[in-house]
């Protein structure tokens, strides 16, 4: 799948998020990269489909924000393509990954997401 086609899938997944949630998101940028590069202390085989980096809305206090860089949501194209057998699965996985990472922005943890079927 081309980079452009994958980017359109990510945009479509974002368009599926209810506007009421998108309006509540604060200072978030979305990126697409090929794959996650594990940190030195992580298992080199660590593979992620997406990653949220930032301060969840539930953890921000009154002093947060002055000069803060945007939170990041990164979707990992090659990692998603590797686990999917067809375009339909890619579309579904991009959607699940987008919901999962946006939920982290709202303070929802991995255990709860897995319990809800968004793991």
pLDDT of 34 above 90:
yes
**pTM (2 decimals)?**
0.89
Q: Which string of DSSP letters, residue by residue, matches 26-69? A: -SEEEEEESS----TTS-TT---SEEEES--GGG--TTTTTTPP
pLDDT, tens digit, 9 for 90 and up, residues 40-94: 999 999 999 999 999 898 888 766 666 778 899 999 999 999 999 999 999 999 9
pLDDT score, position 5? 96
What tokens were used for 48? 């992620």
């Amino acid at each position: 799948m081309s980079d452009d086609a994958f980017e359109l899938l990510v945009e479509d997944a974002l368009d599926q998020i209810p506007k009421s949630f998108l309006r509540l998101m604060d200072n978030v940028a979305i990126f697409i990269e090929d794959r996650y590069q594990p940190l030195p202390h992580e298992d080199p085989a660590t593979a992620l489909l997406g990653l949220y980096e930032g301060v969840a809305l539930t953890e921000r206090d009154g002093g947060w924000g002055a000069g803060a860089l945007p939170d990041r949501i990164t979707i990992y194209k090659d990692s998603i393509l590797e686990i999917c057998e067809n375009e339909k699965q890619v579309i579904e996985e991009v959607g699940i990954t987008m919901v999962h990472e946006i939920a982290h922005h709202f303070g929802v943890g991995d255990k709860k997401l897995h319990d809800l079927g968004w793991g």
